[in-house]
Structure formats: structure tokens, C-alpha cells
Amino acid sequence: MQPKQTNIRISGVDIPVKKQVQYSLQYIFGIGPKLANDILKNAGVEPTKRAFDLTDAEVQKIRVLIEKDPEKYEGGLRQQIFQHIKRLKDIRCYRGIRHKVGLPVRGQRTRHNARTRKGKVKIAVGGLKKKETK
């Protein structure tokens, strides 16, 4: 019997070994529930199997399927998204300007909300009054 795997590294990401493989694969950027199940079906691996129960051959099959198209997952996908945003900024379209300024891009209101994009609440300066002394 083989020793249990302590960690599995696929596409530069350590996937959790105590979870089921179908959920562990979703820690890789660009892989969701459906894609994880499709990869496991093509590799011939049971989705409910725990990641530490995988053999080296099964891990290698999964790794080959994922790394076959590197622009779909992890670093390649992040780089592609960054390039799309950079193009929007360069052509100075409305969405590009919103990205550059740090405001919501997809039409959300900013009067009361949008704290995630705008940052912390800014405190008004200049509303201070001097105390009168008698």
C-alpha cells in the first residue's frame, strides 16, 4: 500500500487533501463545480473520493487535463483578465475610467453603498466650529 499524500500541488496551487476531490479542485482559479466534475469524469476519478486517497497516477491524469490549456486556469486566466482591464483603461472607455478611479464598473449606485470599491468612509473636513469663551 502507498503512503498517503500530505499535499497535492496542481497548477501552482496546493489543493486541500481532506476534502472530496470535486471540491478540492475548485481551489484552482477558473475551475467551478461543473468543470471540476468534467475533469474528474475525463480522468476516470470518482468525484466523492477524498484527495488524500488519490493515487499518483490519478493525480497525474488530473494534472495533465488541467495543464493542457494553461490560459484557462490560474495564472493564465488572471493575466488574461488583467490584459482585458488594461485595454479598457487604455482606450479610455467608461468602464476603463471606472476601473482606473476605483469605482463600481457595472452600473451600481455609489451614493450610499460601494464601500468595497471606494474604500473606507471619508470624514468631512472643515465642519469644525470654534468654541466661544466668555
* pLDDT the model gives residue 121: 80
Domain 8-68 part of CATH 1.10.8.50? yes
Could you tell me the pLDDT band of residue 89, with boundaries at 50, 70 and 90?
A: very high
Which pairs from 92-97 meet CB under 8 Å and 24+ separation?
none
Secondary structure letter of residue 8 according to DSSP:
E
Residue 41's SS3 state is helix
> What proportion of the chain, given as a percentage, has pLDDT over 90?
60
Instruction: Give the least confident one: 24-38, 60-74, 84-98.
Output: 60-74
d(CA 115, CA 70): 34
pLDDT-derived band at 4 (thresholds 50, 70, 90) equals low
Q: Where are the domains of the chain?
A: 8-68, 74-118
Predicted TM-score of the model (pTM): 0.74
Question: Which residue type, as a one-letter code, is found at position 58?
Answer: E
Q: How far is 81 from 79, CA to CA, in rounded Å? A: 5
CATH T-level topology, domain 74-118: 30s ribosomal protein s13; domain 2 (4.10.910)
Q: How confident is the model at residue 46 (pLDDT cuts 50, 70, 90)?
A: very high
Instruction: Centre a 10 Å sphere on the Cβ of residue 79 and count the other Cβ atoms it contains.
Output: 12
* Residue partners of 52: CB distance under 8 A and separation at least 6: 4, 5, 6, 17, 18
pLDDT at 85 over 90: yes
Whether 1 has a pLDDT exceeding 60, the answer reads no
pLDDT at 128: 63
Statement: residue 93 has pLDDT above 60: yes
